[in-house]
């Protein structure tokens, strides 16, 4: 006698099948909120946010493994689709941000383990995904399908730089190697940002962008600059090793330029959101992509507070404190949307009923 799957099992399998490649942005957003709260001296709320990030990370790892086992063909299709492939880099960025959060709470050993995992995934995805996207053509023009998720590749590189810069090697040899790896990760992330920005601009110029296409991941264009500021400021503060000493002056000046451009982008992105949701009445509903908007807000808060403190710029530090409030409110709203979505899904019958 064949056993019929329960409604809950059918819904769960359907949810796993359609799991967004960029869902680890939830961990990125929650993890950077924890870091921002820690920067502001709010240690209790910071630890709560970090615990939530750890739980979300473990749940998503389990869900992604289940998707790879049960729906591997669909997952491979996402990896070959220019509109979704770079969302997989949220796995790297989430792992790196989580590692940085653990460092701030004295869990350096666990942080090192996560950074090793993040570096390994970054190396694999960094060579495999672009090949899949650029070489496995499906007949449609790639430039027209370039979007904000491509910036997550840059964010993943910079998240490694942030995590590596917080380590404290025990020998000069390890310090030299760490300096090389950290500056390399920052440099790769910076060059990738420039290249991706050119592609996105070309896409807008040649193909335009509709209100429906302007989705929350475009905020990552600002978040990638903000995490470059955080990583760069951390590198400037590292101990004296040859690679860091050679790059310190360049990186120190560059992060100020990056912060200024990130600040300039904020009103532009807000205006584009008004154009999308108010002028063209695109409904603002919960989607996993919204976490890709929360993360840049939190990252800009951290970048501003850290840069303002290091360079003795109280005004910049105050801006960071203000963005922390904005990021916290955005996180609460998106988390409420996630809770409502989960609640509705639990009450809904299987597709087709």
Q: Which residues contact 69 (CB under 8 A, 6 or more apart)?
A: none
d(CA 20, CA 24): 9
The predicted-structure confidence for 208-263, as pLDDT tens digits, reads as follows: 889 998 999 999 999 999 999 999 999 998 889 999 999 999 998 999 999 999 99
pLDDT, residue 98, reads: 95
Which of 224, 102, 245 lies closest to 166, judged by CA?
Answer: 102
pLDDT tens digits, 30-46:
999 999 999 998 999 99
Q: Name 8's Cβ contacts closer than 8 Å, sequence gap at least 6.
A: none
* Beta strand residue intervals within the chain, DSSP E: none
What single DSSP character describes residue 139? Answer: S
DSSP secondary-structure letter at 347? H
What pLDDT is stored for residue 105 in this prediction? 84
**In the chain, what is the straight-line distance between the N-terminal and C-terminal CA atoms, in Å?**
24
In a domain, 333, yes or no: yes
Using pLDDT thresholds of 50, 70 and 90, give the confidence band for residue 7: low
Q: Are 143 and 208 in contact (CB under 8 A)?
A: no
CB 218 within 8 A of CB 269: yes
Residue 144 has pLDDT above 90, yes or no: no
pTM above 0.75, yes or no: yes
Q: How many domains does the chain have?
A: 1
pLDDT at residue number 230: 95
Q: What is the pLDDT of residues 314-332, one digit of tens each?
A: 999 999 999 999 999 999 9
**Closest Cα to residue 28, out of 113, 89, 79?**
89
Nearest to 320 by CA among 263, 252, 265: 263
pLDDT at site 16:
85
Q: Is the residue at 3 inside a domain?
A: no
Classify residue 352: in a domain, yes or no.
no
Q: Give the range of the structural domain holding residue 174, as residue numbers without chain letter.
A: 10-347
Is 283 inside a domain boundary?
A: yes
Residue 307 has pLDDT above 60, yes or no: yes
Look at the chain and count its residues: 353
pLDDT for the residue numbered 321 = 94
User: What pLDDT, on the 0 to 100 scale, is given for residue 170?
Assistant: 83
Closest to 149 in 3D by CA, of 22, 57, 299, 264: 22
pLDDT value at residue 350: 44
Q: Quote the mean pLDDT of the chain.
A: 90
Q: In sequence order, what DSSP letters do the residues of 71-131 get, joined into one string?
A: SHHHHHHHHH-TTTGGGGGHHHHHHHHHHHHHHTTT-HHHHHHHHHHHHHHHHHHHHHHHH
Q: Are 121 and 190 in contact (CB under 8 A)?
A: no
Q: Is position 1 within any domain?
A: no
Cα–Cα distance measured from residue 265 to residue 260, given in angstroms and rounded to the nearest whole number:
9
Q: Contact, 299 vs 230, CB < 8 A?
A: yes
**Is 44 within a domain?**
yes
Cα(252)–Cα(254) distance, rounded to whole angstroms? 6
288 lies in some domain: yes
pLDDT at residue 115 greater than cutoff 80: yes
Q: In the structure, what pLDDT confidence band is assigned to residue 148 with cuts at 50, 70 and 90?
A: very high
Query: Which is nearest to 92 in space by CA: 66, 57, 50?
Result: 57
151-192 pLDDT, tens digit per residue, is 999 999 999 999 999 888 888 899 999 999 999 999 999 999
Residue 345 has pLDDT above 70, yes or no: no
Q: Which CATH number belongs to the domain containing residue 223 in this structure?
A: 1.50.10.150
In a domain, 149, yes or no: yes
Distance of alpha carbon 88 from alpha carbon 257, whole angstroms? 29
């Amino acid at each position: 006698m064949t056993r019929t799957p329960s409604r809950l099992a059918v819904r769960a399998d359907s949810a796993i099948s359609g799991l967004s490649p960029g869902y680890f942005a939830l961990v990125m957003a929650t993890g950077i909120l924890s870091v921002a709260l820690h920067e502001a001296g709010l240690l209790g709320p910071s630890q709560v946010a970090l615990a939530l990030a750890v739980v979300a990370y473990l749940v998503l790892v389990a869900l992604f493994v289940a998707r790879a086992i049960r729906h591997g063909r669909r997952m491979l299709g996402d990896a070959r689709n220019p509109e979704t492939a770079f969302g997989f880099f949220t796995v790297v960025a989430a792992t790196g941000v989580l590692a940085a959060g653990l460092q701030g709470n004295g869990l350096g050993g666990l942080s090192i383990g996560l950074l090793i995992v993040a570096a390994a995934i970054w190396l694999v995805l960094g060579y495999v995904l672009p090949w899949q996207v650029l070489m496995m053509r499906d007949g449609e023009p790639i430039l027209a399908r370039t979007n904000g998720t491509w910036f997550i590749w840059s964010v993943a590189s910079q998240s490694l730089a942030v995590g590596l810069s917080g380590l404290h090697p025990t020998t000069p040899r390890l310090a030299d190697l760490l300096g090389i790896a950290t500056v390399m990760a920052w440099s790769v992330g910076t060059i990738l940002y420039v290249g991706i920005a050119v592609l996105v601009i070309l896409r807008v110029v040649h193909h335009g962008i509709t209100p429906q296409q302007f989705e929350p991941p475009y905020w990552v264009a600002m978040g990638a600059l903000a995490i470059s500021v955080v990583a760069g400021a951390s590198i400037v503060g590292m101990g004296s090793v040859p690679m860091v000493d050679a790059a310190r002056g360049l990186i120190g000046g560059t992060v100020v330029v990056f912060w200024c451009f990130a600040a300039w982008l904020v009103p532009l992105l807000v205006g584009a959101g008004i154009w999308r949701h108010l002028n063209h009445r695109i409904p603002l509903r919960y989607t996993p992509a919204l976490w890709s908007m929360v993360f840049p807000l939190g990252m800009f808060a951290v970048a501003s507070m850290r840069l303002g403190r290091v360079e003795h710029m109280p005004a910049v530090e105050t801006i960071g404190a203000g963005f922390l409030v904005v990021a916290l409110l955005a996180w609460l709203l998106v988390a409420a949307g996630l809770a409502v979505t989960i609640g509705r899904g639990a009450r809904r019958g299987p597709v087709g009923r």
